[in-house]
Amino acid sequence: MADREDTPVKATATSARVIEALLELESATITELDDHLPHSKSTIHSHLETLEQLGFVVRDNWAYQVSLRFLEIGSVARNRYPLYQPGVSEVRQLATASGLVASLVVIERQRGICLYTAMGKKSDRSFGDPGETLPLHCTAPGKALLAVMAPEDVDSIIDGHGLREYTENTLTSRAALDEELQDIQSRGIAFNREEWREDVRGIAAAVEGKTGSPVGAISVRSPTDTMSGKRFQQDIPGLVISSANRLRKALRSER
């Protein structure tokens, strides 16, 4: 959870903490939220009542949950990305062709956000939900996007977030990451070799819009045992590159 000690409107920050706690816990009573948050029960109750009146929270007996109002908000936010509308059909086709989890990923607030996901026949449903947040330096879509970004933007992201080690395969050296990004520029494809999560691999390609600037990435993820050897090195990368090329063409032909 983000540190909001310097947030100008502290009441808003408290409401945000309550919402984030409900997202994490999925459903919680005031007592459970009291154990989870650095606020009194009376403060938590006041914020929950306000959020409920505004339609952001619903109550089931004594337990509170976030409401479907957030689905409406998320849909509006998602639709503003030019990659979303043409990308949905491409992601579905990629999931069908590969049998894997296929996703559209964009960057917001210097983090990767999964915009849309489709499941193939061999998909692992334990990851890939829309809205999932991804680190950029150790995921295939993140590295694909870093590789086509302006150097000063890459510097800003790494200065702000660092190169956290998630597994023994995570690139935690800036020199090693820069070398990897140069290789991605040459290949046009990025690989995640269990760098974010153990036993999970990924492949992605960046998608540029009309101006040539990156608007997102299309990717697949899978447990290592279902994506290895030639399938990992050649077959799936070919599918991902083809999908990215079609998306670029679709975006550039839009009026």
Q: Which two tokens stand for residue 99?
A: 């049998």
**Helices of type H across the chain:** 10-25, 30-36, 41-53, 69-79, 84-98, 140-148, 151-161, 174-187, 229-230, 236-253
Q: What is the DSSP string of 60-84?
A: ETTEEEE-THHHHHHHHHHHTSTTH
Residues forming CATH 3.30.450.40 domain(s) in the chain:
74-253
The larger pLDDT score, comparing residue 7 to residue 197, is at 197
Please determine, for residue 124, whether its predicted confidence score (pLDDT) is greater than 80: no
> pLDDT tens digits, residue range 68-90?
999 999 999 999 999 999 999 99
pLDDT of residue 2: 47
Mean of pLDDT values over 142-156: 96
Residues forming CATH 1.10.10.10 domain(s) in the chain:
10-67
Radius of gyration of the chain (CA): 20
CATH topology of domain 74-253: Beta-Lactamase (3.30.450)
Residue type, 174: R
d(CA 216, CA 223): 23
**Torsions phi, psi for 115 (to 5 deg):** -85, -35
Mean of pLDDT values over 20-44: 95
pLDDT of residue 126: 59
Percent pLDDT > 90 in the chain is 87
CATH topology of domain 10-67: Arc Repressor Mutant, subunit A (1.10.10)
Strands 200-208 and 214-223: antiparallel
Closest CA to 205 of 193, 194, 195, 220: 220
8 A C-beta contact, residue 104 and residue 218: yes
pTM: 0.86
Closest CA to 196 of 219, 230, 229, 213: 219
pLDDT of residue 3: 46
Please determine, for residue 4, whether its predicted confidence score (pLDDT) is greater than 80: no
pLDDT of residue 210: 87
Mean of pLDDT values over 58-64: 94
Confidence of residue 1 (pLDDT cuts 50, 70, 90): very low
Confidence of residue 151 (pLDDT cuts 50, 70, 90): very high
pLDDT of residue 7: 57
Mean of pLDDT values over 202-206: 98
pLDDT of residue 127: 63
